[in-house]
Amino acid sequence: MNKIHIASAFIKGKQETSAKIAIILGSGLGEFAETLEDRTTISYQDIPGFPQVTVPGHKGQLVFGTINQIPVVIMQGRMHYYEGYALEDTTFPIRVFHQLGIRTLIVTNSAGGISRKFRAGHFMAIQDHLNFMGVNPLRGKNLDQLGPRFVDMSHTYDQDLRKHAKKCAKKVGLKLHEGVYAALPGPTYETPAEVRMLKTLGADAVGMSTVPEVIVAKHQNMKVFGLSCISNLAASAKTHSVNHQEVLDTTQKVSKIFGQFMKSFIITISHG
């Protein structure tokens, strides 16, 4: 708990903010942070207790600014379990956000599409998830001042936020699906057999992040909206090989419509 106070005090000393919304930008989606007005940044390496990012497509900095005069803070890149961090470390920024007064978390990612309705470049609002990380970020001694020992996960992804997202997506011309996101630890992509298993179990998309951050946000009673950019089709015996460059190329192609949607969404939920 002391680490959380130290990090939040450092950030407040560098950048006063009244933001109630935080956004995590997944692989290749970091360009949206450059569109904020009155923008200032703090590198993760300067914040006490913040792990560093090592993955291409993740800049590793907090970006403060406004959208239509609405203050927001953005994580331009995230930390992953597969980088060697404990989940307590990868989710540390969510603890700090709550300490800063943020109560709504928008978490985005690039994901492999499992559902046959998906094509690269589609978007999926997460309505539920499957945690196949093999570990839970709440394991260990509970921080009672932050949340309960046992957390209800039955309404994790806020239904009202998803309704607003559908309207905003329609307004800007973005086709928004809904579905279940499965989180695996990585860094290997899934085998064709694993993809078939995940499909049988009800997953529509698969990735290597998001779920730990969402669990910690829910532990702190934050509202959560999750969005996956389907950056590639998950492996099957009939598809080409999967690689990270394909992920970055796809997110680059959809960055403009993604930014239009995000701006509309943030304005709507702030005034709604």
Q: Is residue 7 part of a domain?
A: no
* Domain tally, the chain: 1
Which CATH number belongs to the domain containing residue 37 in this structure?
Answer: 3.40.50.1580
Phi, psi of 49 (to 5 degrees): 90, -10
User: For 130-153, b where at least 16 C-beta lie within 10 A, e where not — what string?
Assistant: bbbbeeebbeeeeeeebbeeebee
Q: Is residue 131 part of a domain?
A: yes
Per-residue model confidence as pLDDT tens for the chain (272 residues): 799 999 999 999 999 889 999 999 987 787 899 999 999 999 999 999 999 887 766 678 999 999 999 999 999 989 999 999 999 999 999 999 999 999 999 999 999 999 999 988 899 999 999 999 999 999 999 989 999 999 999 999 999 999 999 999 999 999 999 999 999 999 999 999 999 999 999 999 999 999 999 999 999 999 999 999 998 887 654 555 666 676 667 767 788 999 999 999 999 999 86
Q: Is residue 6 part of a domain?
A: no
Q: Is residue 267 part of a domain?
A: yes
Q: Is residue 46 part of a domain?
A: yes
Decide: 258 and 229 in contact? Cβ < 8 Å: yes
Q: Is residue 65 part of a domain?
A: yes
Q: Is residue 144 part of a domain?
A: no
Nearest partner of 40 among 73, 89, 7, judged by Cα: 73
Q: Is residue 3 part of a domain?
A: no
Which tokens go with 248?
Answer: 């970055």
Which residues form the domain of 238?
Answer: 18-139+150-271
pTM: 0.94
- Measure the CA–CA gap between 172 and 272, rounded to whole angstroms: 18
Beta strands at 123-131 and 104-113: parallel, antiparallel or unpaired: unpaired
